[in-house]
Amino acid sequence: MGMGMDQVALEAALHDAEQRLQDAIRSGDVRALDLLLDDRVVYTGPDGSTMTKEEDLGAHRSRTLAVDIFEQQELHVTVVDSTGVTRVLAGLEGTAGGHPFTARLRYTRTWVHADGSWRVLAAHASAVTDLG
């Protein structure tokens, strides 16, 4: 590549993108989410259900999904060429479909770097049960 961003810069930019994504989830910022999510993104939830980008944005737009707390407890960032992976352990509180929820989730997000920015192409969340 020669002119491409170096590994350290790419990792720093991905770390920043993950934080901006969490901020957007917390504030229900549909505009920011739109920019951070690839149009082809599919999110797989802890129950195995899937959501497209439009469904995800729609849930935030209508406040069907409102995340009041997204507290990052761990973050690991891996970059290979123009592909990135963030692994996040987080505590969440909010409302979904009018019902309050509390969850501890481990997210794995696959990001692609294109046109100078990172976007989420795939995301999966698993529920974490406290072992004692």
DSSP, residue by residue, 44-106: E-TTS-EEEHHHHHHHHHTTSEEEEEEEEEEEEEEEETTEEEEEEEEEEEEEETTEEEEEEEE
Q: The domain spanning residue 26 has which CATH number?
A: 3.10.450.50
In a domain, 18, yes or no: yes
In a domain, 132, yes or no: no
In a domain, 80, yes or no: yes
* Domains identified in the chain, total number: 1
Residue 127: per-residue pLDDT: 96
**pLDDT by residue (tens digit) across 25-75?**
999 999 999 999 999 999 999 999 999 999 999 999 999 999 999 999 999
95 - beta bridge partners? 66, 100
In a domain, 41, yes or no: yes
Which region holds residue 127: left if phi is over 0, alpha if psi is between -120 and 50, else beta? beta
111 - beta bridge partners? 84, 120
Residue 81 belongs to domain spanning: 7-127
**pLDDT by residue (tens digit) across 74-130?**
999 999 999 999 999 999 999 999 999 999 999 999 999 999 999 999 999 999 987
The overall pTM is greater than 0.85: yes
In a domain, 2, yes or no: no
